[in-house]
Amino acid sequence: MAVTLVKLSCPDRVGLLAALTGFIAQHGGNLLEVSQFTDTRSSWFFVRMAIQTETLDMPLPHFREAFAPVAAELDAQWTIRAAESRMKVVVLVSKLGHCLADLLWRWRAGELSCDIPLIISNHDALREMAERESIAWKHVPISASGTTEAFAGLAELLRELQPDLVVLARYMRILPAELCREFAGKIMNIHHSFLPSFAGANAYARAYDRGVKLIGATCHYATAELDAGPIIDQEVIRVEHFHTPEDLVRLGRDCERLALARSVRWHLDERILIHGNRAIVFRD
């Protein structure tokens, strides 16, 4: 069964959901799923709908064209996409391979329905992972003296590929603010702490020194402000008094893998809507 996904956010008003579902019904669409939320503090409306595509009385491109005036009247941000279409995902990684390995396993198993045309790294240590999966690998080294040129080359690669999502799978470099702005809402980072605590580097060491009883990982969209973008998901695990700093790293990596995998899947399934610095997530 083919499925069409509709994702929309707009200023709240009475009758919004009725207007949207009525439009879909007018064109024969059978709704399979509707997830809706209204933020009463900001008076903003969010919805994700899944439609049985073959029930629509027109091809999907024509349905999208017919919907455009409705969305414009609502002053809405929206997307309509066939669920069967595969998003293009580019992964950035450095030397730590646990998140990349987990994503590739889930991708190969069919859990993450997307295409991965390229993996980019500032080191060459994990090239074999890409080669095993027949995925193109690009080594873009970044030195202290050549940061600007390296990131310019990285930006050109992304502009050429136009990915739907860029995953920073423990990519241990800070992206330039202009790159974050250019690909806003499309760059996803996994940070090794329960943000906003312990932003920046050496999070597990600082958590150990602080004597925390919980550690975690945070997946968020990257913005110009370091580790401060809209939070998509967080995963935590308990810390015992006998755990060493190395134990925290080991436990934290499990959190990183889970939070990142869930967030990527939700992005691919059109389950995330960004509003300001918040991410509204319709979990599956």
Report CA-CA distances (Å) from 279 to 5, 223, 272, 273: 18, 13, 6, 6
232 vs 125: CA distance, rounded Å: 29
Angle made by CA atoms 18, 270, 108, in degrees to the nearest 5: 150
Cβ atoms of 129 and 101 within 8 Å: the answer is yes
Cβ atoms of 274 and 221 within 8 Å: the answer is yes
Report CA-CA distances (Å) from 232 to 59, 84, 142, 283: 33, 23, 28, 10
Angle made by CA atoms 268, 259, 221, in degrees to the nearest 5: 60
Q: Look up 227 and say whether it is catalytic.
A: yes
Which one from 227, 233, 247, 269 is the annotated catalytic residue?
227
Cβ atoms of 163 and 90 within 8 Å: the answer is yes
- Give the residue numbers annotated as catalytic, written as ranges: 227
